[in-house]
């Protein structure tokens, strides 16, 4: 690790986070933003109309009763025309309705999130349905709506998911380390709205620069990517499907400094406890 570059990047990032949290939140000027402006010019992404992305939502009791197409078309007040509308092949919404599959229309329902402040409607989408499902963190037997989101107007996206080896042992420039911190701000899971300050300011800065949205890596689905679109009218939901989570497979490896000294399991691979056979160097199922 190049400690000098790492420490310089850490100092810049901490300065930025402290500034927007304790000193000045809007219309700020900071070297971190200057670097982002330079990076965005060389890595921006163009999305043409017609491109499909994905959005997921856990179907809770409220959604199931009010926004699910089955409830709308086969509920107690439904008509034969409603039922026929659902069965018709032209109906592309087999999960939640078109409205239920998209951003809530009422701004008062919008909470602080990774890119948007409270009350401001942004669209969060993923490049694959798998990534979209990971992002809503379903538990076993949850019903999950996955909708297809189609781009209606040409989008110019600030792409901060630039290809950087995140291995801390690999040599990096100060700018590369800084981009690692920025990507982490957009990707690291959190339930604390205070943690959104830095990513919200960066998202707003890109909007100020004229971008339609921002692309960043998913921390919940390795190799997956998410986008935030500022103007929700530039996309629309075009289909939905209703899925149910039947199983979860996990992969665990030894944490740094951990050592298996008594032959017990040290990995869990696809839910199966495993250990490393020192004689062969192969993983084998462990006795538990």
Write down the pLDDT at residue 183.
Answer: 83
Q: Do residue 205 and residue 265 come from a single domain?
A: no
Q: Do residue 142 and residue 185 come from a single domain?
A: yes
Q: Do residue 167 and residue 258 come from a single domain?
A: no
Write down the pLDDT at residue 211.
Answer: 96
Q: Do residue 35 and residue 175 come from a single domain?
A: yes
Write down the pLDDT at residue 163.
Answer: 67
Write down the pLDDT at residue 277.
Answer: 86
Q: Do residue 149 and residue 81 come from a single domain?
A: yes
Q: Do residue 194 and residue 273 come from a single domain?
A: no
Token reading at 279: 């004689």
Q: Do residue 210 and residue 280 come from a single domain?
A: no
Helix (H/G/I), strand (E/B), else coil: 213:
strand
Q: Do residue 104 and residue 131 come from a single domain?
A: yes
Strand partners, 146: 56, 241
What count of Cα atoms within 13 Å lies in the side-chain half-sphere of residue 251? 4
Token reading at 278: 């020192």
Write down the pLDDT at residue 181.
Answer: 84
Exposed / middle / buried, residue 262 (Cβ in 10 Å: 0-12, 13-18, 19+) = exposed
Contacts of 9-13 with C-beta under 8 Å, sequence gap 24+, read 9/174, 9/175, 9/176, 9/177, 9/178, 9/180, 9/181, 10/177, 10/181, 12/174, 12/178, 13/178, 13/181, 13/182
Q: Do residue 33 and residue 169 come from a single domain?
A: yes
Domains: count for the chain = 2
Q: Do residue 13 and residue 152 come from a single domain?
A: yes
Instruction: State the residue range of the domain holding 270.
Output: 251-285
Task: List the chain pLDDT tens, one digit each, 288 residues.
Answer: 567 888 888 888 888 888 877 776 676 788 888 888 888 888 899 999 999 999 999 999 888 888 999 999 998 888 999 999 999 999 999 999 999 999 999 989 999 999 998 899 999 999 999 999 999 999 999 999 999 999 999 999 999 887 665 556 667 788 888 888 888 888 777 778 788 889 999 999 999 999 999 999 887 888 899 999 999 999 999 999 999 999 999 999 888 777 776 778 889 999 999 988 888 989 899 888
Q: Do residue 163 and residue 136 come from a single domain?
A: yes
Q: Do residue 141 and residue 272 come from a single domain?
A: no
Of 50, 49, 52, 51, nearest to 148 (Cα)?
52
């Amino acid at each position: 690790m190049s400690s000098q570059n790492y420490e310089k990047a850490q100092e810049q990032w901490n300065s930025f986070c402290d500034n927007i949290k304790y000193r000045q939140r809007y219309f700020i000027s900071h070297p971190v933003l200057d670097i982002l402006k330079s990076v965005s010019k060389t890595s921006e992404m163009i999305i043409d109309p017609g491109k499909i992305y994905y959005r997921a939502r856990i179907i809770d009791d409220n959604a199931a009763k009010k926004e699910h197409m089955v409830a709308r078309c086969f509920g107690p007040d439904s008509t034969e025309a409603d039922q026929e509308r659902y069965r018709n092949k032209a109906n592309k919404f087999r999960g939640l309705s078109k409205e239920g599959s998209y951003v809530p229309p009422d701004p008062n329902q919008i909470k602080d999130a990774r890119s948007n402040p409270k009350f401001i409607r942004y669209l969060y989408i993923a490049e694959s349905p798998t990534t979209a499902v990971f992002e809503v963190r379903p538990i076993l037997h949850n019903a999950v709506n996955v909708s297809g989101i189609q781009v209606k107007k040409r989008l110019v996206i600030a792409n901060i998911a630039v290809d950087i080896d995140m291995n801390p042992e690999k040599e990096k420039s100060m700018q590369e380390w800084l981009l690692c911190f920025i990507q982490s701000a957009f990707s690291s899971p959190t339930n604390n709205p205070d943690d959104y300050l830095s990513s919200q300011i960066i998202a707003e800065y890109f909007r100020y620069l004229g971008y339609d949205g921002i692309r960043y890596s998913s921390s919940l689905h390795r190799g997956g990517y998410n986008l935030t679109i500022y103007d929700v009218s530039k996309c629309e939901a075009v289909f939905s499907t209703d899925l149910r989570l039947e199983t979860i497979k996990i992969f665990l490896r030894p944490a740094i400094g951990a050592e298996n000294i008594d032959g017990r399991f040290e990995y869990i691979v696809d839910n199966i406890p495993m250990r490393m056979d020192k004689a062969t160097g192969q993983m084998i199922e462990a006795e538990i």
